[in-house]
A and B are shown apart, each in its own frame.
Chain A
Amino acid sequence: MRLESFLLMRHEILLTVALLIILIAELSTENKKKISNLSVILFLGVTVIGFLPVPEGLLFGEMYRTSHLIVLMKNILNIGTLILFFQSAEWIKQTEYKNKVSEFYMLILSTLIGMNFMISSGHFIMFYIGLELATIPIAALAAYDRLKNISAEAGIKLILSSALSTGIMLYGISMLYGTVGSLYFSDMAGANLNTPLQTLAFIFFFAGMGFKISLVPFHLWTADVYEGAPINVSSYLSVISKGAAVFTLTIILYTVFYSIMPMWKNLLYVVAILTMTVGNLFALRQQNLKRFLAFSSVAQAGFILLGIIDGSGLGMASVVYFVLIYIFTNLGAFGVVSAISVASGKEHIDDYNGLYKTNPKLSLLLMLALFSLAGIPPVAGFFGKFFLFTAAAHSGYFWLVFIAVINATISLYYYLLVVKAMFINKNENPIAYFKSAFTTKVGLLLCVFGIFAIGLLSPVYEFIRMFSNIL
């Protein structure tokens, strides 16, 4: 193996270097504000270098593999994390977090390394290490706010339920190993996984991934963790962590479990309907915005399954495209909620009554993001959902598309409830006017740009579609 071949792992190596630099900076300076700025600038560099062209290939005897599509997925995750860093720069300066600024950045970067390895894995050991590296630090982040009871509660709920789901998934993988005799993805893809034991193993495996994406029978942790965790961590969980898990699940379903495609299509059919419906129905009755966004993200995960169920390059392209849009959209929504929470400490929907009078720009941005989540035409969310539905219809799942459209209509109702609160409801004591910090503005403006541009610029979809057939 030559030295240049390590360049295939460029994303992971750069992230590790950035992580070490932040660690050294933490040891050598007392000024926490500098560390925050340094981390954002370093990560900006990592994101930009990630876009340079890279060859495809395999490393470590096929344990690590990379292709143009995988690099694209990693870049999408990088963009999302960069926006999140911009949005958190102001939040992290609050006094209660003053002494643990670098921990936030280091834990986020290490989960990102884990997600990159998870996406690139070609062997179940690599996949497992990546998954755990992406999960354990997030539990520490959920318990980041030591002054609040609910933060510790969120942390313990996240780590215990993730440990159980990983255990169930490993049990499935062990049965796959017993029947196939190898843990390499390529060997498993070559084997025929049709025996009942292998079906059971697949369902165990799917349960573990379903936990990460918060699909319906495994979604019970979502709302509690999102509510209890600091809001920027919830935002990371709902966007980047979920996006990475969706990418990985899609790749594994399309390669490792290719031989049992009819089986997992039936499974996804049921889970998609359950996830959309339950997510929507529970979102209807939420009053806390974080819980509201949690259930809305459960429902969005159900829509993503409509793309995965296609099982061809078209489905892959629609999933990647939707996650790209979802990152901008959901980060926009969470960004506004976070900015308001930092300025006023309010997170209730009723507190948002009359927000338009005092903070018109933030209200407009939140409205845009919610419209995009609901899928109203001029904004990007519509195009994302459109391609997902096209992919499902392409495989002939017309009833599923029909149910999804009904669910999209229901979701419009509760997204509009928030918009109504901001624009129509009267409030004698609305949230006072405040000026956001420069970094927050940059983070939010990037989201606005994404919400408009990605939907209207067709080259983005064409670009993703071009790579999607090669796995």
Chain B
Amino acid sequence: MLSQIPLSYFLIVSTLMFFIGVYGFLTRKNLITILMSVELILNSVNINFVAFNRYLYPEQLQGHFFALFVIAVAAAEAAVAIAIIISVYRKFMNIDVERVDTMKH
């Protein structure tokens, strides 16, 4: 089944996800949505790693393992980021990036 889907399809999906993530990161105003955009970028990386591993280098598992580590570390990162977002909310009563702008220039 899998052999009927060419590798490039996976790469197109992951590239789209990556750029949607970057676009979302730059345009969204809500801190949680920005965090979701970052997760999108990391997941596009995971798709890349797993697809490359499965199609090009199936005899080794380096890509799969990298994807596992990315997932684990992304969870840690999200935990800290959400903790900081909560502390931002307590201070500013808001999680809109345009309101969290005490420091400029």
Contact = CB atoms under 8 A, between A and B. Distances in A.
Interface of A: 124-125, 128-129, 132, 136, 139-140, 143, 146, 148-150, 152-156, 159-160, 163-164, 167-168, 170-171, 173-175, 177-178, 181-183, 223-224, 227-228
Contacts of B100: 153, 156
19 contacts: A136-B80, A140-B83, A143-B87, A150-B102, A152-B87, A152-B92, A153-B101, A153-B102, A156-B88, A163-B77, A163-B81, A170-B41, A173-B66, A174-B63, A177-B53, A178-B48, A181-B57, A223-B103, A223-B105
B3 to A, nearest CB: 18
Contacts of A160: 25, 31, 34-35, 38, 81
**Interface hub of A156, A173, A224, A228 (most chain B Cβ within 10 A):** A156
A136 B77 CA distance: 6
A168 B35 CA distance: 14
B88 A177 contact: no
Of A146, A154, A160, chain B has the most CB atoms within 10 Å of the CB of A160
A146 B87 contact: yes
Interface of B: 18, 21-22, 25, 31, 34-35, 38, 41-42, 44-45, 48-49, 52-53, 56-57, 60, 62-63, 65-66, 69-70, 73, 76-77, 80-81, 83-85, 87-88, 90-92, 100-103, 105
The secondary-structure label for the interface of chain A is: helix
A300 to B, nearest CB: 20
Nearest to B100: A153
Nearest to B44: A171
Contacts of B35: 160, 163
Contacts of B92: 149, 152-153
A227 B80 contact: no
Nearest to A160: B34
Given A140-B83, A167-B21, A227-B103, A153 B45 contact: no
Contact of B52 (A125, A143, A163, A174): A174
A149 B66 contact: no
Contacts of A128: 66, 69-70, 73
B41 A171 contact: yes
Nearest to A282: B105
B68 to A, nearest CB: 9
A457 to B, nearest CB: 41
A223 B18 CA distance: 28
B69 A163 contact: no
A139 B81 CA distance: 8
Contact of B84 (A132, A155, A167): A155
Given A149-B91, A170-B45, A132 B38 contact: no
A150 B42 CA distance: 28
Q: Which 9 A-B pairs have the closest CB atoms?
A: A167-B41, A174-B48, A178-B52, A170-B45, A155-B84, A163-B38, A152-B87, A149-B91, A224-B103
